[in-house]
Amino acid sequence: MRESMPDKIILSHGDGGALTRELFRSTFQKHLGNPFLSEADDSAILPLGTGQEICFTTDSFVIDPLFFPGGDIGKLSVYGTLNDLWVSGAKPLCLSCGFIIEEGLAMATLEKIVRSMADAASSSGVSIVAGDTKVVPRGKGDKVYINTSGIGILQPERRMDRKAYPGDRVLVSGTLAEHGLVIMALRAGLEPGELVSDCGPVGSAVDNLFASGREVHMMRDPTRGGLATVLKEVAEASACNITLYESEIPLKEEARQLLDLLGLDPLYLPCEGRVVAFAAPGPLPDGWIDIGEVGSGDGTVLLKTRYGGHRRLGFLEGMPLPRIC
């Protein structure tokens, strides 16, 4: 543990940024370390001995509020885990769900959430095959927390190197920052207006990318920590540099206005229905945007600003975004 590591858990340990990474290394990787457990991948890939490989991933959802424009904790918990499987090149096979419910939750609220999970799962052709429910006393939880874990079958033609290479382009599958922005606006008591969370499936965006015939080296979904944190993780893990063009970053007009109002940086806000991909040059697939490039280097991420300047991007740090997913 380096000197700066606090001796108690603080909220930033859960923000997906620098401290989350530090906690992973100092505690989880230290004791649980194995070749499959990685801080930089969305799922583990495991050989079954039959030639087939499965992807396995887990996420807990503690979002506040439970319901928001564009989704709710139920939809989020299903797509959050399915998206991790899709960006790993897998076809989702099934999900589990574990509920931790605070005493006093209205049955109608729980049912609404479960129905929303059912809709998301069935519209993706996936079943929730295992579940568990625990109840904790009032004041020992907050309405409901949901863990989902998912298994997918790795598609051999979608096997990726899981690292970026110099010469790769950086592509995103849609406009950014909307999930985080909607949640932060609600928390600030602001009306997000037309803006809704991007919470949703990335399956068809991933299909489009592979259909374009481009050689895809890596995909991630920029959730906690946002695009900048993912780029920094990939740059470090791949030992290369990444240059991002501010003018190419896709943002909805409504998002720009709210960002200004709240003083938030869209590069660090989570998406819940977008993919960032690192792929060799080629035709741009439907719906994707080219926002930057990978070069040789040592893990630096540079933003080329609209005005010709440069800004170095690090891991999310010091931006208070608790319970955003």
Site for its own copies in 231-290 (CB under 8 A): none
What is the closest distance, in whole angstroms, from the C-beta atom of residue 232 to its own copies in the complex? 18
Alpha-carbon dihedral angle through residues 217, 304, 263, 170, given to the nearest 10 degrees = -10
Residue whose CB is less far from its own copies, 222 or 292: 222
321 close to 228: Cβ distance less than 8 angstroms? no
Site for its own copies in 83-102 (CB under 8 A): 93-94, 96-102
Residue from the set 20, 173, 175, 229 that interacts with its own copies by CB under 8 A: 20
Contacts of 153 (CB under 8 A, 6+ apart): 52, 53, 54, 55, 90, 91, 93
Site for its own copies in 164-203 (CB under 8 A): none
Buried b (16+ CB within 10 A) or exposed e, 58-91: ebebbbeebbbbbbbbbbbbbbbbbbbbbbbbbe
Is 14 a binding residue for its own copies by CB under 8 A? The answer is yes
Residue from the set 3, 4, 17, 59 that interacts with its own copies by CB under 8 A: 59
Residue from the set 65, 115, 305, 317 that interacts with its own copies by CB under 8 A: 115
Residue whose CB is less far from its own copies, 117 or 258: 117
* Count of C-beta atoms within a 10 Å radius of residue 38: 16
Site for its own copies in 137-156 (CB under 8 A): 137, 139-142, 145, 147, 149, 151, 153
Residue from the set 40, 110, 284, 319 that interacts with its own copies by CB under 8 A: 110
Residue whose CB is less far from its own copies, 62 or 259: 62
The tokens for 120 are: 């998301």
Round to whole Å and give the CA distance between 225 and 231: 10
What is the closest distance, in whole angstroms, from the C-beta atom of residue 274 to its own copies in the complex? 19
Is 107 a binding residue for its own copies by CB under 8 A? The answer is yes
Site for its own copies in 30-49 (CB under 8 A): 31-32, 34, 36-37, 43-44, 46, 48
Say whether 146 sits in a helix, a strand or coil. strand
Is 66 a binding residue for its own copies by CB under 8 A? The answer is no
* Count of C-beta atoms within a 10 Å radius of residue 323: 16
The tokens for 24 are: 């992973």
What is the closest distance, in whole angstroms, from the C-beta atom of residue 94 to its own copies in the complex? 6
